[in-house]
Amino acid sequence: MTRPDYAEKIPNNVGLAEDRRLQRALESWQPDFLSWWETMGPTLPTQDVYLRTAIDVRGEGWAQFGHVPMIDYRWGIFLADKNPDRRIAFGAHKGEPAWQKVPGEYRAELQRLIVIQGDTEPASVEQQRNLGATAPSLYDLRNLFQVNVEEGRHLWAMVYLLHAYFGREGREEAEELLHRNSGSQDSPRILGAFNEETPDWLSFYMFTYFTDRDGKYQLGTLKESAFDPLSRTCEFMLKEEAHHMMVGTTGVDRVVERTAQVMVENDTDDVAALGVIPLPVIQKYLNFHYSVSLDLFGGETSTNVANYYTAGLKGRWLEERRKDDHKLTDDAIMVDALIDGDIAQTEVSALTGLNTDLRREYIADCSGGVKRWNRILEEAGLSQRLYLPHVAFNRKVGAFAAIEASPTGEKLPAGEWAARKGEWLPTEVDKTFVRSLMRPVYERGKIAAWVAPPRNGINGQSFDYDYVHLA
């Protein structure tokens, strides 16, 4: 079954109606989800939003667009098509048929991976809940809400797996996903970056560029999983995720473009007083979001990831395109390390270095964004350039958590870091300045002065389309 059934209370393409127990369990989670959405979801009151809703899981035309009151968005359970012949592509079980049930010996690890993935989705909605109050345009407001409802759906995706395959413990974990909250002192979200604030739209664009991109890479590795229902749900999530990347990429494009324009028009770098965000502030935001996102890949070496791979739970990015034995038991990799207190590299087994392998794929992808933004500066005739800071900069997880380093990768004594970190990370003054620019623009076809309009609207609509009707 590929087409979601929207006649059901919980739209799905997993034949939920044929499993009454599961259906009842999920139907009893549904009101808790909706009350979480009402209390922790977007705060700006709206009548309706021009949203896309999935109507198929394959091909083009998989989504339908229309104005929908957000609370009536049909969150549902959609898995990519099953390939009955699918075989495990890596690890100790390579070549065996993919699993349709959870093997007892891997239950705890699989549940943990699904809970961590599930925890990030509502976390991001919580982080972004107040942004509607300062949206730079109706187009941006609509994109924010699209990202939010889809993160809500991604939570549904993980909750379905927990309910369907992990029994009572799974159901308890599904409840917990609604009880932890981003930034909470008592019960915070699991991963660091999801407890940070997203208080302004520059942060939102950076988050959707850098942190959603971690999502892309982690989902890519879970799509390889031997546990077929996880693989199939991640495959479809990745389809929705592409829009979130677009929001981040073009969002930062548009900030850089507007800043460059004002710099050129006024022949000055000092553009804060002219109501746009100076390049050094953009760089500081980039430094922050990139470094906290690097932390999301875990340590450079990790026995967890080696075990996940060998068991077949979590593969590599584009596993099937890799030209090796897909077991890696005899292979080695150079990873970043602290050796005698210095930033260096060391050789470790390829299995324990798999977080590094994934982080490197991610870094290569991120450098594509920087190239794009620098092309905008170059085309404006400016000599300034943005860059990705060194992998040791501002790290709280992994080999470099114990030291401080500059964006160019020099190790710094604690005193120098404390004295200089305001040059590299947003200070209170920077944040207050950025927030001062964040005033809502809700008029059709209008946009805030600190960001350029997008080149294209959504689904072929123009920029001045009525993307959102406010309450």
Per-residue buried b or exposed e for 384-420, using 16+ beta carbons within 10 Å of the residue's own CB: bebebbbbbbbbebbbbeebbbbbeeebbeeeebeee
Count CB-CB contacts under 10 A for residue 208: 28
Tokens (6 digits) for 319: 């596993």
Site mask, ligand BYC, residues 370-409, x = CB under 6 A?
---------------------------x------------
Alpha-carbon gap, residue 372 to 104, rounded angstroms: 47
Alpha-carbon gap, residue 202 to 372, rounded angstroms: 17
205 binds ligand BYC per the rule CB under 6 A = no
Minimum CB distance to ligand BYC, residue 206 (Å): 12
By CB under 6 A, name the one of 11, 215, 369, 454 that touches ligand BYC. 215
121 binds ligand BYC per the rule CB under 6 A = yes
Checking DSSP bridges between strand 342-349 and strand 332-339, what pairing results, if any?
antiparallel
116 binds ligand BYC per the rule CB under 6 A = yes
**Judged by CB, which is closer to ligand BYC: 25, or 392?**
392
99 binds ligand BYC per the rule CB under 6 A = no
Minimum CB distance to ligand BYC, residue 296 (Å): 5
**Judged by CB, which is closer to ligand BYC: 68, or 305?**
305
Answer yes or no: are the C-beta atoms of 370 and 253 closer than 8 Å.
no
DSSP letters of 397-429? Answer: SSTTTTSEE-TTS-EE-HHHHHHHHHHHS--HH
188 binds ligand BYC per the rule CB under 6 A = no
302 binds ligand BYC per the rule CB under 6 A = yes
Q: Which of residues 428-467 bind ligand BYC (CB under 6 A)?
A: none
By CB under 6 A, name the one of 304, 310, 384, 461 that touches ligand BYC. 304
By CB under 6 A, name the one of 13, 124, 225, 249 that touches ligand BYC. 124
CA distances from 246 to 45, 207, 226, 254, 367 (A): 25, 12, 30, 12, 15
Stretch (H or E) spanning 134:
none
Length of the chain: 471
Alpha-carbon gap, residue 403 to 265, rounded angstroms: 42
By CB under 6 A, name the one of 297, 393, 400, 463 that touches ligand BYC. 297
Only one of the segments 20-28, 119-127, 181-189, 197-205 lies at the binding site for ligand BYC (rule: CB under 6 A); that segment is 119-127
Minimum CB distance to ligand BYC, residue 227 (Å): 13
Answer yes or no: are the C-beta atoms of 315 and 323 closer than 8 Å.
no
Minimum CB distance to ligand BYC, residue 441 (Å): 25
Binding residues for ligand BYC, rule CB under 6 A, total 25
Answer yes or no: are the C-beta atoms of 62 and 55 closer than 8 Å.
yes
Residue 133, phi then psi, degrees to nearest 5: -65, -20
User: Which residues sit at the interface with ligand BYC, rule CB under 6 A?
Assistant: 113, 116-117, 120-121, 124, 151, 191-192, 211-212, 214-215, 218, 295-299, 302, 304-305, 314, 355, 397
